Amino acid sequence: MPSIRQFAVALLAVGASALPSGPKLTERQLQYHALAERQNQQAASSGLSDLDILQFALTLEHLEATFYRDGFAKFPASDFKALGLSDETISDLQVIGFTESQHVSLLQSAIAQAGIQPVQACTYDFGFKDAASMVATAAVLESVGVSAYLGAAPLLSSKAILSTAGAILTVEARHQTAIRVFSKQVAVATPLDTPLGPRAVFSLAAPFIKECPQGSNLQVQAFPPLSMASGQSAAAVGAPLKLAAKGVSGATHCGFTAGGILPGGTKFAPFTEADGCQVPEGVSGVTYVTLTNKAPLEGLLTDDITVAGPMAVTIS
């Protein structure tokens, strides 16, 4: 005769077999999970402290706040109206600039409360030509801001600082979408936004920075700059993309990094100095292009294989 213990075990086994199994992840969901794990591992190896990251974020917010302030000082509202923007839309753009200034104040306060001197604003050259180019540059800067905060999130150890960074990130994302709508672009071009590491982000910001006050230079080195070659003005899927990078050698591939690219976040295409590279299928919207000396099959772009860039381009 079975004991009570044996009966209980058998009953539990029957009950367990009758329960519905947990949800199974799709192959795509597993790829997203693996990508997030790789990004977290890469971020953890950077060695930056929470305050280092806040100083880095403040550097970018200084740049963005100055960009809007200088742009609206240079171009009157009539220039923006000539682009087809309404008074309400122009006001919204000005509010975006104001919120960037508020981000500066928030980060300055957080850093000062930790007993550290916040970095000061640098001297910038945005190369303003007209109101249209300002709006186009604003769209790129907001995308870079989103990518910077996403890339910094895995680096943060303090939950309080992570929460603050997250509160700024969501606003930066709204800026990005609003400017895309104002510019008659697709509001949400990709299913995911693109995280970038500190060195890649600083490389995107560095061309705008002329000089920084003593003590406000970040301990981050930019990669050699990358730009479109003379005569190349746009990028489209399946079309050649010719690039220019001074003083670099050893590049064998172009890396196209954008939200939603699986498995690793980047698609690689063969590169030659004469012909450039071909924009691969599956890339769209704001995309970060780099020159690399390798093309990992897992699609993972790292600092150690980056030769030049990134540069931000909009792929049509």
Tokens encoding 302: 């790292």
CA Rg value for the chain = 23
Encode pLDDT of 73-87 as tens digits.
999 999 999 999 999
Give the per-residue pLDDT at 287: 93
- In the numeric block, the tokens 């004991």 are attached to 3
Q: For strand 227-228 and strand 240-241, is the pairing parallel, antiparallel, or unpaired?
A: unpaired
For the segment 94-130, what is each residue's pLDDT rounded down to a tens digit?
Answer: 999 999 999 999 999 999 999 999 999 999 999 999 9
| Predicted local confidence at residue 264, as pLDDT | 84
Q: What is the pLDDT of residue 5?
A: 46
Q: How far from 51 is each of 118, 119, 169, 197, 219, CA to CA, in Å?
A: 10, 11, 17, 16, 13
Segments of the chain with pLDDT less than 70: 1-47
Six-digit token pair at 253? 């591939």
| Residue 45 burial (10 A CB sphere; 0-12, 13-18, 19+) | exposed
The reported pLDDT for the residue numbered 16 is 43
> Residue 6: phi, psi to the nearest 5?
-65, -40
Which pLDDT score is estimated for 124?
96
> What pLDDT is recorded for position 4?
42
